[in-house]
Structure 1
Amino acid sequence: MIKAVVSDFGGVVTLPLMDAFKRAHTEIGIPIEALAKAMALVASRADEPPLWTLERGQMSEPDFIAVIAGGLSEVLGRPVDLDGYGARLMASLEPNEPLLDHYRALRARGVRLAILTNNVREWHDAWRRKIPVVDELFELIVDSGFEGTRKPEPQIYELTLSRLGLNADACAFVDDVEVNVTAARQLGMHGIHFRETSQVIAELDALFA
């Protein structure tokens, strides 16, 4: 019996993250395609992508931004200033209201709700202020930036299950990144790969029928 839904934040509780990135990059005049090239460039020079290190809280946001700005400068052939980038990105987030309404309905039926997010420690207050319903709906928030582990590493799922006090097979897991869903399934959770809101709602309804 499913007792809880563990949900990703960005791209699930919010509308697609790429939309937020595109809005932020339009404002700062840097093509979104250049960001992808810069991320690949800096990742090729490190033991692992700096984003992963950032999301574990093992790199500060200013240090990460400096690395990405350097990569963008190389890609674009001009100096790049990313001052205020995180705040601009957080301001571009929009809630996924239809899914949040469905989560509310599940909670009214006694289903427990939690968030498991790969996120940035320094952005914590900003994203929770931006979508305050998070604190109203979800009894538990596990943020990789404070835990030293990130999805799809098994430790962060195990930590979430431990804090909920539930076995894996009592939890559904919703994420828009397929590798994160695969990792959850390997631990015994009921994984749902978010592709669109109506599809996730239908899969949740089937689980709770």
Structure 2
Amino acid sequence: MSYQAIFFDFGGVFTASPFHAITDFAIQQGTDADLFAETLLGQYGVDGDHPWHRMERGEITLEQARQLIIELGANKGFEADIYEVFASMGSKGGVREKLADYALTLRPAGFTTVCVTNNVKEFGEGWRNLIPTSEIFDHIIDSCEEGVRKPDPKIYQIALERANVKPNEVLFLDDFEGNLIAAEALGIDGLLVTEDEEKTITDLREAITS
């Protein structure tokens, strides 16, 4: 396949997956991991009215989402403070510098590069400074700025329009399978990112050179 554009998720691709940190936190406090994750994030494979989803669409603030999620947890008999979860991540959220370095080579090689991320307004300056985003990406499609989040097809359509490419000209890297399934339904090829950074680089290189 001759790709013209590479779309990247951010968290879980250029940094360690937050999903693993959330699972670890739940286990440490003796809470069912699946129940805790759903309380914190809602059903992540859909775009609904859970506070986390609303926050990622920019409809409510981080603090508003925090308080609503604390209430959800309290109703289920456990503590669900997103600030404590964030604090527990520490070095687990480390940057994948080798992948960032490889991504820097894509624009000079003629690819259009786009970051398609579900993110939070209050985190904007922080995550964008973890890697040289302005050098890596031609466009950044941030859910909290666009008012739509993955896996809603609209966010991929926005990315396609900004990059001026067709779905079959795109390879999309994400660590959440539901996001890839939604993109693939539009005709975008997906590459599932794991914790193995070297494998991600190898898979990406092979996909764009084959």
Question: Normalising TM by the smaller chain, what interval?
Answer: 0.7 to 0.9
Partner of 1:15: 16
Give the drift of 1:203: 2.5
With over 3 angstroms needed to count, the CA separation of the structure-2 counterparts of 1:136 and 1:91, relative to structure 1, is farther
Unaligned runs of 5+ in 2: none
Cα RMSD over matched residues? 3.1
Contact 1:39 1:71 in 2 (8 A): no
When normalised by structure 2's length, the TM-score is: 0.79
Structure (1 or 2) with the greater helix fraction: 1
Structure 1 residue identity aligned to 2:97: E
With over 3 angstroms needed to count, the CA separation of the structure-2 counterparts of 1:101 and 1:204, relative to structure 1, is same
Give the drift of 1:179: 1.0
Structure 2 residue identity aligned to 1:54: M
Unaligned runs of 5+ in 1: none
- Show the 5 A alignment for 1:51-130: 51-75=52-76, 82=81, 88=87, 93-129=93-129
With over 3 angstroms needed to count, the CA separation of the structure-2 counterparts of 1:137 and 1:89, relative to structure 1, is farther
Secondary structure in 2 aligned to 1:68?
helix
Q: Does residue 145 in structure 1 map to residue 147 in structure 2? A: no
For residues 152-197 of structure 1, what are the alpha-carbon distances to aligned partners after superposition, in whole Å with 9 as ceiling and x for unaligned? Answer: 1110000011011111111110000001111111111121111232
1:171 & 1:13 partners in 2: Cα distance?
19
Contact 1:154 1:183 in 2 (8 A): yes
Contact 1:14 1:96 in 2 (8 A): yes
Secondary structure in 1 aligned to 2:7?
strand
Structure 2 residue identity aligned to 1:31: Q
Q: Percent identity?
A: 28
2:158 & 2:127 partners in 1: Cα distance?
22
Contact 2:55 2:144 in 1 (8 A): yes
Give the drift of 1:137: 1.3
For residues 103-122 of structure 1, what are the alpha-carbon distances to aligned partners after superposition, in whole Å with 9 as ceiling and x for unaligned? Answer: 12333322222100011122
For residues 35-73 of structure 1, what are the alpha-carbon distances to aligned partners after superposition, in whole Å with 9 as ceiling and x for unaligned? Answer: 7535535859xx743222221112221111001222344
1:137 & 1:110 partners in 2: Cα distance?
12
Structure 1 residue identity aligned to 2:15: T
When normalised by structure 1's length, the TM-score is: 0.79
Partner of 1:201: 201
With over 3 angstroms needed to count, the CA separation of the structure-2 counterparts of 1:91 and 1:39, relative to structure 1, is closer
